Amino acid sequence: MNTPPAPTRASGPSAAALLLVGIVLGGVVGGATATVITGRAPSELVEVTPAPASIPTASAVVVPAGSDTTVDVVRELLPAVVTVVNRAANGQPQSSGSGFVIDAQQGYVATNNHVVENVRGTGTGASFDVIFSDNRTVRATLVGRDPQTDIAVLKVSASGLVAAPLADSDKAPVGAHVIAIGSPLGEFQNTVTEGVVSAKGRRVQETANVFLEDMIQTDAAINPGNSGGPLIWVAAKQVVGMNTLVQVDPQTDIIAQGLGFAVSSNTIRDIANELITSGQVVRGFIGISYLPLTPRQAISLGLPATAGITIDSVVAGSPAAQAALRPGDIITKVNDQQIDQQHPLTSIMAKTRPGDRARLTVIRGGQTQVIEVTLGRQQ
């Protein structure tokens, strides 16, 4: 597979891991709310007569209409945001996440693969409900899903839908004001948090075998249940990413503040279009695992600091093996497209098909050469 190997994790208190932000619903959700909030049983409540207020009332502030861009964006795009609920065969909810409408006319809703994957193909009769901001609940069907990018598409039949437009994520600058909308903890629907684009082009490990590339890092608060919800670029009033992961400390399971990751809108657009067209994403397959070049390695080779990958291993019998690629080879381009943060290998390969011939620009022993590979089928 074209799979980067898992990076070595740091040891000690600074070690960190990534947590998917879907949520598995427990049994009792709201029954103990009153007792938890008050901190005492009802019989312990004591009636207290408040003293007269002595704090002077502030003067009324007149806020000009339309002066709060964030409020305007929420008002405009909140109708496109949904809660996605997975129901088991007995009708009971078993997990939930978030999503957003990407095509109002056809009823397509984007969400994370990990929000829906646990009920795909189980034969249990599980189904999906989509809950809109106006509390309408509509049954949804699964169009397709792509574990490699953690994207899935659902379809609903409903009128009056509002779509959230997808931005060109390449144009969203670091520092851009963003808001995240979703259903944290499965019950606080339509929660809005805000932050900035902290970094772009991040490469993060989601599971043992899945690395997500071209991710957007944000400090907007993301919690379990936010998976699949939109990260909105406020200035553009468009979705720049899909909230997917948060950083956690594996020693304590404490979620790190301000370290969330979203799938970029450009990735969403490409993958969703293919899922809608064919129900799956079929990629060309080279058959390598790899590591990104370090900035020092790249610069020493005269490359941009974020360019290139190093082959870590080659799958036996794969197209890479047949083309005599070997560990230690450095690949800088595929079909003249340079591999970098804006064009990671997974994104380039997503545009290829089995049987295609790919020209790889390879540095081996300090010498640059072009090696042609006939691509196989991505498993």
Reported in sequence order, the residue ranges of 2-136 that DSSP labels E, i.e. its strands, are: 17-20, 23-24, 81-87, 93-103, 108-111, 127-132
Say whether 114 sits in a helix, a strand or coil: helix
* Distance separating alpha carbons of residues 33 and 210, to the nearest angstrom: 38
Question: Which residues on neighbouring strands pair with residue 139, listed in sequence order?
Answer: 129
CA distances, 329 to each of 112, 141, 324, 369 (Å): 34, 44, 10, 11
Q: Are residues 273 and 265 in contact, defined by beta-carbon separation less than 8 angstroms?
A: no
Please state, in angstroms and rounded to a whole number, the distance separating the CA atoms of residues 283 and 277: 14
- Which pair of tokens denotes residue 193? 């948090």
B/e letters for 226-260, b = 16+ CB within 10 Å, e = fewer, are: bbbbbbbbbebebbbbbbbbbbbeeeeeebeeebb
Strand, helix or coil at 322? Answer: helix
Which of 144, 163, 153 lies closest to 77, judged by CA? 163
Looking only at the bridges linking them, the beta strands covering 230-233 and 211-218 are unpaired
Asked if 245 and 259 count as a contact pair (C-beta separation under 8 A), the reply is: no
72 C-beta neighbours (distance < 10 Å), count = 14
Which residue numbers are catalytic?
114, 150, 227
Q: Are 107 and 147 in contact (CB under 8 A)?
A: no
CB 295 within 8 Å of CB 252: no
**Residues 332, 345: Cα–Cα separation, whole Å:** 10
